[in-house]
């Protein structure tokens, strides 16, 4: 059996089949996103978008009764699956990955003094983002920048398994670091597997930069990516920007013509990836310190929450639950 499917089946056994199915096909609802985060299924979100519900139920039933896969040795691709950023909004995820490829290409061309070259991506937004990054750095010395830039890559990858580091570096056009060429990897990974592996390893890079240290150029780039191409969908980002500009929830809802349920959906989706953003709101509503929501367990269900705290909105309850998950280590940084 395909090693990836083995991992998925093993992770999903014992969980509600309908809920795991919604995760696998990538149904982007607040409840499905939360379920995936709660059960550490972020990497599998949207992995099989064409999967039929009947087929998934049949696979679970057959494999649960026939075979134990606990000792299955994962392949190179299956090992990388844990780093797939399944819950990041697909269009933004692709733009992030292309931005990394263009970043290294542009830095390499800068090192050689080349001002004109064919970019690895034709995405205008990505091109403008990388262009702005270099403009904001106000680089004074080309040699000093490129030396520091490649030193940061070395520090970032020193703890990576060698084959994963080699594969990542092989994806970059014009890099100066030792690695197998991308063409060489085609002998190891063919067709769709090669494409998936590229996405997974770039996802690992994106996640590594969330907690990286002593990599100022790369960290600055990553922070810019998070702002420009956020993990949540564009409609949720418009709602968040309205709030960041000082508008109240009621004002944002009125200006954008949103249903109350749609507004709540946007808030929960953002909270899945950035819970801290809404802890002050939860603090004001419940009269508790923001940090307490990581330590104190949320009520067992929404009805109990309202019994204790009055007629509060469901999205506030969900934010508290998400804070609990993060305190427990439920956020595997795989989203």
**pLDDT range class, residue 131, cuts 50, 70, 90:** very high
Q: What is the pLDDT of residue 271?
A: 98
* Percent with pLDDT over 70 in the chain: 87
Q: Which residue has the higher pLDDT, 279 or 119?
A: 279
Q: What is the pLDDT of residue 332?
A: 37
* Percent with pLDDT over 90 in the chain: 62
> Over the stretch 297-321, which tens digit does the pLDDT of each residue have?
999 999 999 999 999 999 999 999 9
Q: What is the pLDDT of residue 191?
A: 55
Segment 55-63 mean pLDDT: 83
Q: What is the pLDDT of residue 34?
A: 98
Q: What is the pLDDT of residue 28?
A: 97
> Over the stretch 154-207, which tens digit does the pLDDT of each residue have?
999 998 998 888 888 887 754 444 344 444 444 444 556 777 888 889 999 999
C-alpha to C-alpha distances, 73 to 69, 78, 283, 322, 334, nearest whole angstrom: 9, 9, 46, 32, 21
Segment 242-257 mean pLDDT: 97
User: Which stretch of 21-30, 60-69, 109-118, 303-312 has the lowest confidence by average pLDDT?
Assistant: 60-69
**pLDDT range class, residue 331, cuts 50, 70, 90:** very low
Residue 141 pLDDT > 70: no
**pLDDT range class, residue 101, cuts 50, 70, 90:** very high
Torsion sign over Cα 325, 326, 332, 335: positive
Q: What is the pLDDT of residue 178?
A: 38
Q: How much is the pTM?
A: 0.87
Q: Which residue has the higher pLDDT, 223 or 330?
A: 223
**Cβ atoms 26, 3 nearer than 8 A:** no
Q: Phi and psi dihedrals of 133, rounded to 5?
A: -60, -50
**Cβ atoms 322, 296 nearer than 8 A:** no
Q: Which of 53, 89, 62, 68 is nearest to 270 (CA)?
A: 89
Residue 229 pLDDT > 50: yes
Q: What is the pLDDT of residue 184?
A: 46
Using DSSP's 3-state secondary structure scheme, residue 143 falls into helix
């Amino acid at each position: 059996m395909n090693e990836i499917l083995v991992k998925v089946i093993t992770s999903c056994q014992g969980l509600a089949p309908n809920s795991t199915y919604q995760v696998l096909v990538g149904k982007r609802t607040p409840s499905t996103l939360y379920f995936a985060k709660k059960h550490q299924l972020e990497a599998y979100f949207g992995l099989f978008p064409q999967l039929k519900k009947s087929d998934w139920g049949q696979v679970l039933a057959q494999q649960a009764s026939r075979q134990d896969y606990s000792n299955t040795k994962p392949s190179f691709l299956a090992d990388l699956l844990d780093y797939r950023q399944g819950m990041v909004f697909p269009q933004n995820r692709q733009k992030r990955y292309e931005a990394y490829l263009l970043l290294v290409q542009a830095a390499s061309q800068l090192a050689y003094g080349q001002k004109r070259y064919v970019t690895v991506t034709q995405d205008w937004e990505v091109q403008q983002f990388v262009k702005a990054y270099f403009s904001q750095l106000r680089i004074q010395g080309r040699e000093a920048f490129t030396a520091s830039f490649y030193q940061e890559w070395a520090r970032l990858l020193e703890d990576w398994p060698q084959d994963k580091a080699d594969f990542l570096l092989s994806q970059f056009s014009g890099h100066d670091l030792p690695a197998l060429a991308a063409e060489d990897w085609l002998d190891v990974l063919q067709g769709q597997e090669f494409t998936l592996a590229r996405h997974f390893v770039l996802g690992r890079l994106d996640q590594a930069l969330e907690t990286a240290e002593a990599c100022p150029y790369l960290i600055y780039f990553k922070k810019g990516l998070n702002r420009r191409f956020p993990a949540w969908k564009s409609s949720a980002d418009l709602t968040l920007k309205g709030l960041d500009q000082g508008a109240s929830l009621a004002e944002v809802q009125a200006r954008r013509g949103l249903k109350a349920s749609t507004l709540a959906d946007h808030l929960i989706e953002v909270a899945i990836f950035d819970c801290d953003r809404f802890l002050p709101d939860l603090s004001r509503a419940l009269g508790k310190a923001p940090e307490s929501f990581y330590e104190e367990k949320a009520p067992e269900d929404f009805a109990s929450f309202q019994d204790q705290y009055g007629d509060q909105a469901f999205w506030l309850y969900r934010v508290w639950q998400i804070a609990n998950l993060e305190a427990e280590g439920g956020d595997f940084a795989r989203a």
